Amino acid sequence: MSKTIAGFSKLSKEQKIDWLANTHFVNQKEAKAILKQYWNTNDKLQKLHDEFIENTITNYYLPLGVAPNFLINNKLYTIPMAIEESSVVAAASKAAKFWLDRGGFKTEVISTTKIGQVHFIYKGDFNKLEQYFQHIKSALFEDTKSITANMEKRGGGILDIELRNKTEDIENYYQLHASFETLDAMGANFINSCLEQFAKTFKANALEFELFTAEEKDIDIIMSILSNYVPNCIVKAEVSCHVDELSENNKISGKAFAEKFVQAVSIAEKEPYRAVTHNKGIMNGIDAVVLATGNDFRAIEACVHAYASRNGQYSSLTHAKIENDIFRFWIEIPLALGTVGGLTSLHPLVKLGLELLDKPSAKELMQIVAVAGLAQNFAALRSLTTTGIQQGHMKMHLMNILNQFEATDTEKKRLVEHFKTNTVTHSAVVEALNNLR
């Protein structure tokens, strides 16, 4: 049977599934059953999910967990986290509990500016283009009034528009570089609508600008689009305490732990191979909360990693130091988030997650998400510099291995008890399960 098909998008969901099962799967009945078992029994809710994207055939579930005991600026939070990776929620919860008794997390939003650009080609005198930009700039604002009116009522809108000469990079290439404040909205649709109007106004009025030659009037708009790189939409989160307060056991003193911890962060600041894994751990916490609150984790990931490379080498997003026996650990990170619009008003679990967080503003959500990343990183570095990462991670992974081999409830109970005092590895679990059987 051919694997190509015309008009697939016009088929019903049942027809799509029938074609997929008949074309791609050996056991067609089993494939159909798996796809359908993840349908929501509530038809209205399923229809809502079906309409989020195109060509939907079923739902793809991720576990939704919570990490309690987060004290942020003296307010307690229970943070929702949607993620499939073992130990992430447990690690965040453990870090939250650790810092709960040491003053909690302190956060501040440093800036919230977002960026959009109109990219265009102009073949002419740059001095004339500058004069034209100054001539047309007020019209760029004026022609977007219908788009910006509601945003401006709430205190947001277009902050500024600049003309940027990029001809050193690409011949005849220029930008309109615009900055925006979008308040509680992530703002992608708002920004893109403004940019497209800028482009129309900029191109149309060039035809009437008397200083331009015929060729110079022909401004070629390449594209108008927001940037997911937001280096001026920054939030900071921090923890600190006396080094003596860091000791939880007799195996290592608080000061020795702090020194080792700072060295581990320093390595991630200088060594890209380590920094990537270090920052991936931070994103374990961040992505989980971003997903649970209906935000765009791909945009967050792209921006964060670009930011980590802003000085010419990929580096750690977190930093640590000891001064006068005070240990400080902090993160400064760009996060463009929204609490209105998109899935935040559509997905029932997203709405529940935001209510769990006491219906935060976008600024408050930035702070919560940054704290989740910092907590995750603290937990990972504490394990790495003391017991090693595998001890805790593999114990959390134990249940996944047992489920992979279809262990019964009795087998799970006995093996969980067995591995309380034995090292968890995949081979060790398989061997113990075979011995038990």
Where in the sequence numbering do the catalytic residues fall?
85, 280, 296, 393
Backbone phi and psi for residue 237, each to the nearest 5 degrees, phi listed first: -130, 145
Distance CA 412, CA 190 (A): 52
Distance CA 280, CA 283 (A): 5
CB 419 within 8 A of CB 393: no
Burial class (CB in 10 A: 0-12, 13-18, 19+), 424: buried
State the helix-helix crossing angle for 88-100 and 272-292, rounded to 10 degrees: 90
Residue 391 half-sphere exposure toward CB, CA atoms < 13 A: 12
Q: What single letter denotes the amino acid at residue 180? A: F
DSSP string, 13-82: HHHHHHHHHHHH-SSHHHHHHHHHHTS-SSHHHHHHHHTTSSS--S-----EEEEEEEEETTEEEEEEEE
DSSP string, 125-191: -HHHHHHHHHHHHHHHHHTTHHHHHHHHHTT-EEEEEEEEE-TTTSTTEEEEEEEEE-TTB--HHHH
Q: What single letter denotes the amino acid at residue 133? A: F
CB 331 within 8 A of CB 282: yes
Residues recorded for the chain: 437
Distance CA 149, CA 176 (A): 21
CB 323 within 8 A of CB 329: no
Q: Which residues pair with 329 in a beta bridge?
A: 239, 320
Please say whether the dihedral angle defined by the alpha carbons of residues 301, 290, 284 and 263, taken in this order, is positive or negative: positive
Task: Classify 341 in phi/psi space as left (phi over 0), alpha (psi -120 to 50) or beta.
Answer: left
- Residue 112's SS3 state is coil
Q: What single letter denotes the amino acid at residue 391? A: Q
